Chain A
Amino acid sequence: MRIGIRGIGVWGPGIRDWDGFCALVAGKPHDAGWQAPAPAAIPARERRRAPLMVRLAVEVAGQACTNAGIDAHDIATVFASSMGDTEITDYLCRTLAGESKMLSPTRFHNSVHNAPAGYWSISSANRAPSSSVAASRESFPAAMLEACVQSTAEARPVLLVVSDIVVPGPLGEVYPIGEPFGAALLLDADVSDDDAWTVTVEPQPDRPAWPTPGHPVLAALAENNPAARSVALLEAVAGNGGGPLQWPLNGSTGLRMARVTAIDGE
Chain B
Amino acid sequence: MNLFIDSALLILLGGCIPFFCAFHVRLTKIIAILLMGCGCILGFIQSVRVLIHSQSSLETILCLNTFIFQFQFDTLSAFFTTAIYAISLLSLIYSFHYIHEQKKGLQIAIHYVFASLLIVSMLVVVTAADMITFMIAWELMSISSFLLILLDDHSPEALKAGYWYIIFTQAGTLCIFALFGCMYGFTGTLAFTNISGLHVEYKFVLFSLACVGFGTKAGIFPFHVWLPYAHPAAPSHISALMSGVMIKTGIYGILRIYSLLATHSLIFGYILLVAGIFSSLFGVLYALGQHDLKRLLAYHSVENIGIILMGLGLGVIGASTQNMRLAVLGFSGGLLHVWNHAIFKSLLFMNAGMVLHKTGIRSIEQLGGLMKSMRITGITFLIGALSISGLPPFNGFISELLIYLGGFQAIDKQVNAFILPILGILTLSIIGGLALSCFTKVVGIVFLGEPRTQINRNIHGEIGWTMLFSVVVLALLCFGIGIMPTPFIQLTFSPIKCMHVFGDDQILASLIDLGQTMTLVFCIVGCMFLFLLGIRYYLYAGKTIAHTSTWGCGFTKPTPKMQYTGASFASSILQFFHPIAPIHSPQQSVSGIFPTHSHLHQELIDLAEKWILLGFVHPILRVLDKQRWIQHGNIHFYVGYILVTIVVLLFFI
A-B complex is real: no
Residues of B within 8 A of A (CB): none
Residues of A within 8 A of B (CB): none
